[in-house]
Structure 1
């Protein structure tokens, strides 16, 4: 933004100097403001203040400059269409309307609609301070005992630190984040299978026990679609399950929904578009390449095109409207292969392989990259972490976790990194990975 204009960001306008800037939540005298949609439009009151700022930029001819810096695609679609799109100043500016169209097309693309010539841009990627916190929860290492420890990833520092521990040890645990909280469900504590669930709240920095599932199991996968959390598949010492349970957060209650067509222990899952996908797993005899998806409106599971590779203990995440399945075991052999499913084309394709095979790997998406955390390479438990950059079609190693672990749950929580209390063990406390 030009410094010769009398604007809230130039430092010359004393009326703005002593108040918080609604656009960037920084001091208004700052000259290089890069607003993020998640901050700008988080409430209608904020919009009113921002509207006044837009009026100023409209008058000095810089409306498109400031709108360009707001990452409109990251706004909730209801607010984007119901409030921002109705703003007369934006409707009257062709360049701003192009940015609004980009945001609309982004949401159409994520809903599995075919949008010709759509391309991702910097405006579709969260900034570091709004991207959330990557949690690595539980798992087990060479010692054999499951962990209750939690490690959290600081994107800005490219390093991990220990957060508050869970109440229970858990390996092959299902983990997900919904509404700024982290949920850990089921798993095995070293003695028995678990059906209970606990929730981490960054505001209190504590884990709290919640309602238990009806079926105790490990190797489950969690997905969240439209509010509820779905616990999918899993196994115990006797059986692989096709059971699916749905957890209502408001009532703290589990209920059964339609079972999958195939039992799947060590399954991967993610919500994509209007469906919940169950990917791979083991049916009690062999690893699976089959995939099915759940329609909550019909309460029905339907088979979709299978993967090119059989795999269980794989990690699953979504990025740019596609489903990624990472690593896993082909029966007992750990895999380095990675496949991507495009629901618009109903097609699987291989992308670049991991730098090392990883079975029992934890996977999540942060800052436009897919992170693969830990796992087992056939010889040792791993503490290494790598990230996939889709534009480069390349995996690269990033900061390692302290505990070498497989069967951990990985999820991204929408809290700020400063909310999570560091328990002080530090990344130097690396245990034997054998």
Structure 2
């Protein structure tokens, strides 16, 4: 009894296949074959729902030549005579088309009435796959014999390459093809090809070989002259469709590339470094890019410079000669570009040009030339200013940016005014703003440095008159002005009235004003200074008339806004039954119990990140966004109130911990794409580089981490089984070694940890109110006072000798908390604090010194 598929075939396709066999036996049909195929296709199309029987190219008795026409976008296949010569190369040991049965169209393993279909398609056949594949049903080899095909890529590949096919290798590109009608899948995608050159992986099955001979031939297209790099295939592959030539070579590996010829050697060298890139830029056009080329060229040019080969410019500085290449130097410096142009116009003899320079030292020039020819240079705090001045003077724009970035991270109270003056002279806005903000915020430290006594009068006036000068007492400003004048009284005493005018005398304490300022000899000797002191006295004695005394000296400074604040970063908010990610960043000033908005996060829908403060900057690392684990590191710069992407971790991670020790940031454990992570990374904010350190003994995520007594402690967390890890791990940075102890008392997860007075406090977690206190010296754990609310996914910081816990969620169903609690160790009790702007959890929380404008 025939199945419905057998009946459908007898009804719709039997005549077509019989005519096709007749064409094959005659040896020449012209366009009949195509006509037969199109007839069958039309027949199938006239009956919706029926599947057309696919063409089985692997078993056609003769190869087909495919010609591409640019006019009609059609591919015309002509059956060639068995006697005609082809460009295919027969491989010994494999049957050819001459030995095949002329009428054989279906593979031996496929019976009449069955439609060979792609195995990834869930269509049914008459027999289950297990029965079809049984040995007793297979009367002949399951896989069809190999058919040779020819690919012509004259403009791209000049040699014949081999795809890996263990254990036998041939001089032909071999592609594995599965059962008839199934698109072949490449076993290993080429690592250097873009994604659109790679085929999706198919289920692994035994495959037969299809041999492609790569030859240097061209293809005539629609009456146009032959074009290189166009594929001429003597036989379609896969399921009857032509395959892009680059797909055929996608599985090439460095080990199988031939080493004869310059192209092969070049490919082998770039492959070993993983830097070769080959991509399509048009029809039959491919672009090859070697990222190593600039580096290798610079290396060779530098070698030529050292050996004085092909140099055409001699620079003489302090009696020392530097021979360089004009074009190399001019490509990096606009100054030398113009100089070389002028010298070239004057030098008509063709001799090597010479240039004597006196406005730069030989050591600095040698460092600049080293950077020009290598792209790298060692910068330190000693030579940074000198290099920046030289780079700015001679217009090395790239090197200027490098020096500016370095100096921004090297600002201290002892050098910020010098950097400020230099940046202003060079009109470097970015460095000027950073140095100015640093000097204003750190005035108490700057005032104690010797550098402030050596600045110019103009710079001192500009500095002292700024409303943003951070000083808790105006008396310090007055004392700094008097010290500056007394450093060189003979030349500076004439500026005493101008300098005293920038001091906010009305805000000096009355007793200090009468006992110190009024008795200063420099003040007594100047009538203008006495008027300024009298103005301050009237301000104190006549408070009702202060509205009429509006002068620049009666305007208070904004330094009252500079304080240690608690910063809340991002998090999740519960809206009804849903959660929503927040981008808001806010800070809380405990001195006035007020919240202030800061620059929002530059991304959306990110959670499970880690936040830590280093100095007055905030670093946010990792997290998950739209299901993708990230490695980004963002920095919030307190002085400029903005977020910047500064680096990327070596490993993408989320639910990890980050701490700062000795000025370096540590990213610990977490959750990666493959599960729990045990690796630990260390980030240097100066060099902007990450490095791996000793891994965690027990990989965990969602743990509690803090620094205490020169060690990094990691408490609990979630292990690989999804349970509480029950382990305490400690790390000593000096020895780069971890140690751990396991204890059932350490069962915290989703809880923060902070250090106060030599003790480590672990707060809440797992819907708990408990406070756990760990003594690192004695190694014991005890219970502390309970919080007012159960808090999971909360955050905690230490400020003014108190522990502040913020936000969190009560249970898995909510609600989120919008309150903060503070623990005073002396009273040993938690007290509720100011409410947060909104309830949130999974947020970051740090403490920084922040300047906040009042009003």
- The answer to whether the superposition gives a TM-score over 0.5 is yes
Say which of 713, 720, 743 aligns to 1:284: 720
Structure number, greater radius of gyration:
2
1:176 correspondence with 2:612: yes
Contact 1:138 1:409 (C-alpha < 8 Å) held by counterparts: yes
Contact 1:153 1:161 (C-alpha < 8 Å) held by counterparts: yes
Residue of structure 2 equivalent to 1:140: 572
Q: Show the 5 A alignment for 1:6-405.
A: 44-45=448-449, 132-142=564-574, 143-169=578-604, 170-236=606-672, 238-285=674-721, 286-304=723-741, 306=743, 308-329=745-766, 334-378=767-811, 379-405=814-840
Measured in 1, the distance between the counterparts of 2:648 and 2:695 equals: 18
SS at match of 2:676: coil
CA distance 1:388–1:417, change in 2 (3 Å): farther
More displaced 10-residue stretch of structure 1: 410-419 or 189-198: 410-419
Measured in 1, the distance between the counterparts of 2:742 and 2:761 equals: 14
SS at match of 2:832: strand
Measured in 2, the distance between the counterparts of 1:42 and 1:345 equals: 42
Contact 2:639 2:851 (C-alpha < 8 Å) held by counterparts: no
Q: Show the 5 A alignment for 1:405-416.
A: 405-416=840-851
* CA offsets 1:254-286 (integer angstroms, 9 cap, x no match): 111111111111112111121111111101320
Contact 2:727 2:746 (C-alpha < 8 Å) held by counterparts: no
More displaced 10-residue stretch of structure 1: 262-271 or 409-418: 409-418
Q: CA deviation at 1:45?
A: 3.0
Contact 1:266 1:313 (C-alpha < 8 Å) held by counterparts: yes
Contact 1:131 1:367 (C-alpha < 8 Å) held by counterparts: no
Measured in 2, the distance between the counterparts of 1:139 and 1:193 equals: 16
Contact 1:175 1:185 (C-alpha < 8 Å) held by counterparts: yes
Q: CA deviation at 1:309?
A: 4.3
- Tell me, which stretches of 5 or more residues in structure 2 are unaligned? 1-441, 454-474, 480-559
Residue of structure 1 equivalent to 2:107: none
Residue of structure 2 equivalent to 1:426: none
Measured in 2, the distance between the counterparts of 1:148 and 1:234 equals: 22
Normalising by the residue count of structure 1, what TM-score does the alignment of the two structures yield?
0.65
Q: CA deviation at 1:389?
A: 0.9
Q: CA deviation at 1:373?
A: 0.9
Q: CA deviation at 1:40?
A: 6.2
Q: CA deviation at 1:41?
A: 6.1
Measured in 1, the distance between the counterparts of 2:563 and 2:759 equals: 19
Contact 2:572 2:580 (C-alpha < 8 Å) held by counterparts: yes
SS at match of 2:449: helix
* CA offsets 1:332-389 (integer angstroms, 9 cap, x no match): xx11111111222222111101111111111111111111111111031222111111
Measured in 2, the distance between the counterparts of 1:141 and 1:241 equals: 28
Contact 1:147 1:171 (C-alpha < 8 Å) held by counterparts: no
Normalising by the residue count of structure 2, what TM-score does the alignment of the two structures yield?
0.34
* CA offsets 1:31-51 (integer angstroms, 9 cap, x no match): xxxxxxx9866764399999x
Measured in 2, the distance between the counterparts of 1:152 and 1:171 equals: 19
Residue of structure 2 equivalent to 1:26: none
Contact 2:631 2:648 (C-alpha < 8 Å) held by counterparts: yes
CA distance 1:416–1:291, change in 2 (3 Å): farther
SS at match of 2:611: strand
Q: CA deviation at 1:234?
A: 1.1
Contact 1:220 1:231 (C-alpha < 8 Å) held by counterparts: yes
SS at match of 1:141: strand
CA distance 1:341–1:254, change in 2 (3 Å): same
SS at match of 1:145: strand
Measured in 1, the distance between the counterparts of 2:819 and 2:677 equals: 31
* CA offsets 1:45-76 (integer angstroms, 9 cap, x no match): 399999xx9xxxxxxxxxxxxxxxxxxxxxxx
Contact 1:222 1:269 (C-alpha < 8 Å) held by counterparts: yes
Measured in 2, the distance between the counterparts of 1:145 and 1:196 equals: 21
The structure in which a higher percent of residues are helix is: 2
CA distance 1:154–1:306, change in 2 (3 Å): farther
Q: CA deviation at 1:189?
A: 2.5
Contact 2:718 2:724 (C-alpha < 8 Å) held by counterparts: yes
* CA offsets 1:109-168 (integer angstroms, 9 cap, x no match): xxxxxxxxxxxxxxxxxxx98761211112212243322221211111223232111112
* CA offsets 1:362-419 (integer angstroms, 9 cap, x no match): 1111111111111111031222111111111111111122232211111111334449
SS at match of 2:648: coil
Aligned length: 304
Measured in 1, the distance between the counterparts of 2:799 and 2:852 equals: 13
Q: CA deviation at 1:318?
A: 0.9
CA distance 1:238–1:202, change in 2 (3 Å): same
Measured in 1, the distance between the counterparts of 2:773 and 2:600 equals: 33
Measured in 1, the distance between the counterparts of 2:853 and 2:690 equals: 32
Measured in 1, the distance between the counterparts of 2:561 and 2:782 equals: 32
Measured in 1, the distance between the counterparts of 2:779 and 2:608 equals: 30
| Larger RCO of the pair (alpha carbons < 8 Å, separation 6+) | 1
Measured in 2, the distance between the counterparts of 1:346 and 1:258 equals: 23
Contact 1:151 1:401 (C-alpha < 8 Å) held by counterparts: no
Measured in 1, the distance between the counterparts of 2:768 and 2:689 equals: 37
